[in-house]
Amino acid sequence: MRIAMGVEYDGRRYAGWQAQRHARSVQEALERAIARVADHPVRVTCAGRTDAGVHALGQVIHFDTDARRSDHGWRLGVTSNLPDDIAVPWARPVPDDFDARFSATARSYRYVILDRPVRPGLLDGRVAWTWKPLDASCMDAAARCLVGEHDFSSFRAAQCQARHARRQVFAISVQRQGDFVCLDVTANAFLHHMVRNIAGTLITVGAGEQPPSWVDEVLRARDRTAAGVTAPAGGLYLVAAHYPEHFRLPAPPAPPVFGY
């Protein structure tokens, strides 16, 4: 039997999603918790591997098991065996051809920036911060050139292992919510650090250091050195993985909204 689960986590205490020999990972914590409920070792596959310090509201995983548990039993049993900063909001059986990674048609991320003179205290490690006032409307206009299928080499980390840099961005927007500026982007897939590099580039525009047209120049350059800095991991959230309707998975959660 194949089981799919939704997973949310605070990434601050983890060296990323992927299991590592000498560091804490979200994958390791989940596999250990699921194994206790299933009463056998498991290996999980995720919709998208997140880096150290990156958070998730809508991560999706799958694993195979001979154990028979109710949906509620999987959800409650696994969550009760997880650290307090990881939870499983839903669990359900899926067809054997479901794959958390390869069945996904798109993934959505939100990047949250706090722009005010004083750094955050309560939200340290959960948002990015800049003391520079940002023009969200200008950032939104600059981002529009990224919609569509492009070579995103300018926004690709040097250590990225993807075979090629062509990705299709279905939607991207920047909006202000009080003291916060939120970048939302949905694409068929993402390169390593792609969202954080886009965020760093748009922050440069929002701060008035480059015009909106500069982002199109960066994209066309296909050169990582042409873009802005990599924005901090703490502002990034995997909001949702999207799947065909016939898999009947729960609707993705709403993006994170912060306030004081």
Residues taking part in catalysis: 51
Residue 251 CB contacts under 8 Å (≥ 6 apart), including other chains: none
Distance from C-alpha of 35 to C-alpha of 26, rounded to nearest angstrom? 14
Distance from C-alpha of 30 to C-alpha of 197, rounded to nearest angstrom? 29
Instruction: Please answer whether residues 65 and 3 qualify as being in contact, where contact means their C-beta atoms are separated by less than 8 angstroms.
Output: yes
Query: Which contacts qualify for 221-227: CB closer than 8 Å, 24 or more apart?
Result: 221/154, 222/151, 222/153, 222/154, 222/165, 223/153, 223/154, 224/153, 224/154, 224/155, 224/156, 224/157, 224/158, 224/197, 226/154, 227/154, 227/155, 227/197, 227/200, 227/201
